[in-house]
Amino acid sequence: MNADSITTEQMNDELRQQLIDTRDRLLRELAEGAQRRQAESGFPVHTGDVPDAGDTSVATEQADIRNAQISRDAMELRQVEAALARLDGGTYGYCMDCGQDIPLARLRAASAAERCILCQSARERQYADTGPLAVARRV
Ligand SMILES: [Zn+2]
C-alpha cells in the first residue's frame, strides 16, 4: 500500500497494534526469563554437587547471556511503552531531536523509533553505541 493513501488514523491504529504486539511479546519473554532463572536457582542443571571450574564458567556464561537478553528486553519494553504514550499524547512519529516526521517505512520497521534515521545515526556515532539494539535502530 502506498504510504500516502492511508490516513493518519489508520497508520496510528496499525502502529499501535504493532506496539501492543511487541509489548505482549516482551512481557512474555521477561516472565519466561524470570521463571527459568527461578527454576535454575532451585535446581542447578549445569553444575554438579562438586562443580569443577569448567562447569561453573559454562553456567555463569549462560546466566550472563540470559541476563543480557533480559535487560535488552526490559529496555525495549520501556521504549515501546514510551512510544504508546506518545501515540496517546499525539506526539508519536516525530523525531525527538529535529521534530521532523519519521517516515512511515521506518516506523513500520521500528515502531518504537524516537528519532529519524539521520538523528539516530548522528547519535550513535556520538555515543559509539554498537550493541544489538543499535543495529535494530538503523532500520
Ligand atoms: Zn531527526
Q: What does the pLDDT look like over 81-116, one tens digit per residue?
A: 999 999 999 999 999 999 999 999 999 999 999 999
pTM above 0.85? no
Catalogue all structural domains in the chain, each as residue range(s) with its CATH number: 3-137 (1.20.120.910)
Bigger pLDDT: 1 vs 110? 110
Residues with CB under 5 A from ligand 1 (ion): 95, 97-98, 116, 119
Alpha carbon of 94 to ligand 1 centroid (Å): 8
Dist. CA 94–CA 7, nearest whole Å: 16
Q: Which three cell numbers stand for residue 106?
A: 521506518
Amino acid code (one letter) for 5: S
46-84 per-position pLDDT tens digit: 555 666 667 778 888 888 888 898 999 999 999 999 999
Fill in the DSSP letter of residue 47. S
